[in-house]
Amino acid sequence: MKILLGVSGGIAAYKALELVRLWMKAGHQVQVVMTEGAKQFIAPLSFQALSGQRVRDSLFDLAQEDAMGHIALARWPDVIVLAPASADLLARLRAGMADDLLTTLCLATDKPLVFAPAMNRLMWANAATQENVQLLQSRGWTMLAPESGEQACGEVGAGRLAEPASIVSRVAQIMSHAAEKPNQAWLGKRLLVTAGPTFEDLDPVRFIGNRSSGKMGFAIAQAAADQGAQVVLIAGPVNLPTPKGVERINVRSALAMMTAVQANYAQADVMIGAAAVADYRVEQVAQQKIKKTDDQDRLTLELVKNPDIIAWVAQQSDKPYVVGFAAETQDVVNYAKEKLKRKGLDMICANQVGEGIGFETDTNQLTLITENETVVLELSSKRQQAEALLTFIIEGVKN
């Protein structure tokens, strides 16, 4: 395997030497690229001695460019591994900067990219860093999460570079998965997904909403697109990037979601309603901000029922295969079965919600229910739940 190892500035840079040693011992080729920061911690010569390759560190060095230009270098590896990936490097990568050789290579590649962050615990916990790593992962990059323990600065917490032996084995695993034939089970199928909450405005500044983050629906859309489906994603107001290869329609309210679904359901083979649609809205949204008055201790809002979008689709003669979700805090399967019947759905995913599960989290636990079958999935990431759901549906649709 040809591995391009990007080393950025941090005390953990010395552990990258062990990475090179392990990969060379296993018979791989390693090309090291260092940032200016990395060179403050470790001499390029050490990497050169271990890898047998001249270390690359400059975008503008004529001699280096002559040996292999940076674009050719970006094409060369089977995988790019960034270890340690500093907070600064992650921020620059997130922003799509190409201000040194390493960031330029990461921008100019279509190869699998694995990053192993390492930094002080507070830098790691900082919202900016967490946002950066989430976004990079949503672009398909794989993170090898830092470990907890005593840090070089003397503090204790999460932020230590993953152990070199574990980085080596995870990269090998990732590459063997990548070599497997991609699953294209949904090739040629058209999928319509609703995701996220709906916001029902009360006035220009207030609304009725709910805790749906959209993660479940977006994971379904991404997994289906990866398996070859043509996906239209109707998204409520959420703060998530559009999944790669997916057509996204943004809506705010239940009525707007209904209109978008009505315009798109007939072109779909399957519809999955993962959205948490508000059941009620105010009939008339106030034109101006509703004012609080001294003599008024209570405010009564009269709400009207929103249309049931998925039930409407299920009633159409040209309906797709219709899959609903049911988020419940108790008696999950029975409530879901009742919704399956009442809404006339082909299938429903009973979704246990509660503290740390269902809404907003990255994990979920679904029970897949049709008229004749009930399959309980193990708790796993929303992406894994999405893949299991898609496999279940496509098998059912085929039979």
Task: Closer to ligand PMT by CB, 113 or 254: give it.
Answer: 254
Instruction: Specify whether 153 is catalytic.
Output: yes
91, 132 Cβ separation under 8 angstroms: yes
Instruction: For residue 394, state whether it binds ligand PMT (rule: CB under 6 A).
Output: no
- Residue 347 sits at the vertex; the CA angle it makes with 265 and 255, to the nearest 5 degrees, is 40
Task: Closer to ligand PMT by CB, 88 or 279: give it.
Answer: 279
Which residue of 235, 324, 332, 393 would you call a contact of ligand PMT, by CB under 6 A? 324
Instruction: For residue 276, state whether it binds ligand PMT (rule: CB under 6 A).
Output: yes
Alpha helices in the chain (DSSP H): 15-25, 36-41, 44-51, 62-67, 70-75, 87-94, 101-107, 121-125, 127-138, 164-179, 215-226, 254-264, 309-315, 332-343, 382-398
Q: How far is the CB of 52 from ligand PMT (least distance, A)?
A: 48
Which among 65-73, 239-247, 284-292, 323-331 is the span making contact with ligand PMT, rule CB under 6 A?
Answer: 323-331
Q: How far is the CB of 333 from ligand PMT (least distance, A)?
A: 13
Instruction: For residue 215, state whether it binds ligand PMT (rule: CB under 6 A).
Output: yes
Q: How far is the CB of 311 from ligand PMT (least distance, A)?
A: 7
Task: Closer to ligand PMT by CB, 28 or 215: give it.
Answer: 215
> Using CA atoms, how far apart are residues 108 and 283, in angstroms rounded to an integer?
52
- Residue 111 sits at the vertex; the CA angle it makes with 109 and 116, to the nearest 5 degrees, is 100
Instruction: For residue 360, state whether it binds ligand PMT (rule: CB under 6 A).
Output: yes
174, 81 Cβ separation under 8 angstroms: no
Instruction: For residue 386, state whether it binds ligand PMT (rule: CB under 6 A).
Output: no
> What is the DSSP secondary structure assignment for residue 110, as one 8-state letter?
-
Active-site annotation holder among 26, 128, 153, 266: 153
Instruction: For residue 220, state whether it binds ligand PMT (rule: CB under 6 A).
Output: no
| Phi, psi dihedral angles at 351 (to 5 degrees) | -125, 105
Which residue of 306, 314, 383, 386 would you call a contact of ligand PMT, by CB under 6 A? 306
Alpha carbon separation from 390 to 152, 332, 356 (Å, rounded)? 45, 21, 24
Q: How far is the CB of 305 from ligand PMT (least distance, A)?
A: 8
Radius of gyration of the chain (CA): 25
Pairing of strands 2-7, 29-34: parallel
Task: Closer to ligand PMT by CB, 160 or 339: give it.
Answer: 339
Which residue of 8, 151, 213, 253 would you call a contact of ligand PMT, by CB under 6 A? 213
Q: How far is the CB of 84 from ligand PMT (least distance, A)?
A: 31
Give residue for tokens 């949904």: 186
> What is the DSSP secondary structure assignment for residue 181, as one 8-state letter?
P
CB atoms within 10 A of CB 293: 8
Task: Closer to ligand PMT by CB, 113 or 310: give it.
Answer: 310
Q: How far is the CB of 280 from ligand PMT (least distance, A)?
A: 9
Residues lying near ligand PMT in the complex (CB under 6 A) are found at: 194, 196, 212-216, 254, 273-277, 279, 306, 308-310, 324-327, 339, 351, 353, 358-360
